[in-house]
């Protein structure tokens, strides 16, 4: 058996083991955290009132959790770990910065092996480029998930504000109205408001819990709502009427955003085509006729500068089109 095949098989096995370890650690830790929070935020503590000390003891950390904890300690000392924590919270991914760091290695190895063994079939240069793309793949996925959750949350916000207004007019307190939204609202609003309720039940002030919500959901509409709630808590006033007016304003903004998105759809599609058509054509020609496209990668004097200039011009064109169609309201 050729050495390259043995190395590839070993790399695939290591990749699968590393991915499985991250998945197992994530599931075990999430279960432990939820069990601990349930003891303070639900009737779970009352159910365990008669249990023995051994039955209610926390789960002792195993070897996997110890390794994950060691990796987290190394990564958390870096500045980028704080940014990752915020991004993972916004994306609602139950991963620590250490696990997210390890996921980058998994993605790099996976992209490199798939490109080298399946797509480009031995072209090391293109496989290395695919490995570099794999390094950014987890971040792109997190950014996509953040944008999708934020967009859905903003679309649901007017209806949830109306539910909040109805709860206040029926005699609920602010926290009770938020708890009703956490129960009745769809995802991701339900999850975010449940976090607000849990943080408040654990002793955090209402304004701080709402500030954490705004940090996870950086929406201008939500910022307006939270500002109104904080001001009402300090100076008083009819919060239901204020939220009703804000809800109407947000509905009109969403309607206007939808009209602008329709009018700029042609420009956005043009940007996507201009950005991805050259890359798709390069992959197609590399698969059909590797020797023809391979001259660009073999010739370092002329081929590599041409590739660099082409990639730079594609990036600048995509950014220019995105800037044109990105209209602030």
If asked whether residues 86 and 130 sit together in one domain, one would say yes
Task: Please check whether residues 294 and 206 belong to one and the same domain.
Answer: no
Q: Which of 263, 289, 315 is the last residue of a domain?
A: 263
CA 213/CA 154 separation, integer angstroms: 13
For residue 88, give its domain range: 3-50+57-144
Is residue 203 located within the same domain as residue 139? Answer: no
Is pLDDT above 90 for 294?
Answer: no
* Other residues' Cβ atoms within 10 Å of the Cβ of residue 33: 11
17 and 122 inside one domain = yes
Q: Does 119 share its domain with 184?
A: no
Cα separation of 66 and 42, whole Å? 29
Residue scoring higher pLDDT (290 or 329): 290
**Choice among 70-79, 203-212, 299-308, 317-326 with the minimum mean pLDDT:** 70-79
Q: Are residues 79 and 161 in the same domain?
A: no
Domain count, the chain: 3
Distances (CA, A) of 261 to 182, 190, 328: 30, 27, 11
pLDDT one-digit tens code per residue, 218-253: 988 899 999 988 888 888 788 889 999 999 988 888
**pLDDT-based confidence at residue 25 (cuts at 50, 70, 90):** low
- Running DSSP on this structure, what letter comes out for residue 121? S
Identify the CA nearest to 65 among candidates 88, 35, 32, 39.
32
CATH value at residue 179: 1.20.81
263, 298, 314 — which closes off a domain?
263
pTM of this structure: 0.69
My answer on whether 134 and 31 are in the same domain is: yes
Residues 131 and 212 in one domain: no
Last residue of a domain, one of 113, 144, 175: 144
Q: Are residues 258 and 270 in the same domain?
A: no
Angle, CA of 290, 130 and 293, to the nearest 5°: 20
């Amino acid at each position: 058996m050729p050495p390259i095949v043995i190395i590839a098989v070993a790399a695939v096995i290591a990749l699968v083991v590393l991915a499985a370890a991250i998945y197992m650690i994530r599931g075990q830790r999430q279960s432990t955290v939820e069990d601990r929070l349930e003891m303070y935020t639900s009737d779970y503590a009352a159910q365990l009132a008669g249990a023995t000390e051994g039955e209610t003891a926390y789960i002792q950390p195993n070897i996997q959790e110890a390794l994950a904890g060691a990796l987290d300690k190394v990564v958390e000392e870096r500045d980028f770990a704080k940014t990752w924590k915020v991004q993972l919270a916004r994306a609602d991914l139950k991963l620590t910065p250490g696990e997210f760091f390890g996921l980058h290695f998994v993605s790099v190895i996976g992209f490199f092996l798939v490109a080298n063994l399946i797509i480009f079939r031995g072209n090391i240069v293109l496989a290395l480029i695919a490995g570099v793309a794999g390094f950014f793949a987890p971040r792109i996925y997190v950014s996509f998930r953040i944008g999708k959750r934020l967009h859905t949350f903003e679309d649901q916000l007017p209806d949830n504000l109306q539910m909040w207004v109805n709860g206040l007019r029926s005699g609920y307190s602010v926290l009770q109205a938020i708890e009703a939204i956490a129960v009745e609202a769809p995802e991701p609003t339900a999850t975010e408001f449940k976090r607000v309720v849990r943080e408040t039940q654990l002793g955090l002030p209402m304004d701080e819990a709402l500030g954490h919500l705004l940090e996870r959901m950086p929406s201008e509409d939500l910022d307006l709502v939270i500002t109104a709630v904080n001001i009402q808590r300090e100076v008083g006033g009819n919060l239901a009427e204020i939220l009703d007016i804000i809800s109407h304003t947000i509905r009109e903004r969403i309607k206007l955003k939808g009209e602008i998105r329709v009018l700029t759809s042609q420009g956005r599609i043009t940007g996507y085509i201009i950005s991805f058509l050259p890359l798709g054509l390069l992959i197609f020609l590399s698969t059909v006729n590797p020797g023809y496209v391979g001259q660009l990668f073999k010739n370092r004097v002329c081929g590599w500068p041409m590739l660099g200039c082409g990639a730079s011009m594609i990036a600048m064109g995509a950014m220019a089109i995105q800037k044109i169609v990105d209209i602030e309201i």
